[in-house]
Amino acid sequence: VVGGAEVGPAMLASGINKIFFTGSIGVGKKLMAEASKTLTPLSLELGGKDPMIVMKDASLERSVNAACWAGYQNAGQSCGGVERIYVHESIYDAFVAELCAKTRALRHGPPDDSFLVDMGSLTTKGQLDTVAKDSSIPQQFFSMSITRWRLCPKKTSALFFP
């Protein structure tokens, strides 16, 4: 169920058996307080920034592939998608080089009969606005910025961020 601030309390008042919520910490706290009144089970995913840790003995290829899948699945719009990666210093440079190469190779655009697209569009105008806003943050706040998106190669009305 997708909705505003009134949906969770309404579901709890109806006697629902359990709630799974993905969203902000503030709303999660409110739902937890409300659910505690009836001991309704609650599962919360509250934007922990989803870190990935890569140890020095990890397979470089498997780690990079996992980072790409976990970060780019559903055009990066997954509540459990990787948002930051901690890599052991002894393999950091090789990891970054391979991750950038795989990122640059991603094909994005509207699907067609050839199945030659790796990533589709964003799902909503609001999500596009969020990505555009986050992408306008001055680069000095990022530890690196080695790879860049390419423009979507096909004209489309879908919500692609360059």
Catalytic residues: 45, 79
Question: What is the C-alpha separation between 133 and 125, in angstroms, rounded?
Answer: 12
| Cα 52 to the center of its chain, rounded Å | 12
In the chain, the amino acid numbered 136 is S
Pull the structure tokens for residue 115.
């199945």
Coil, helix or strand at residue 29: helix
The helix or strand, by DSSP H or E, that contains position 68, with its residue range, turns out to be helix 60-72
Q: List the beta bridge partners of residue 19.
A: 42
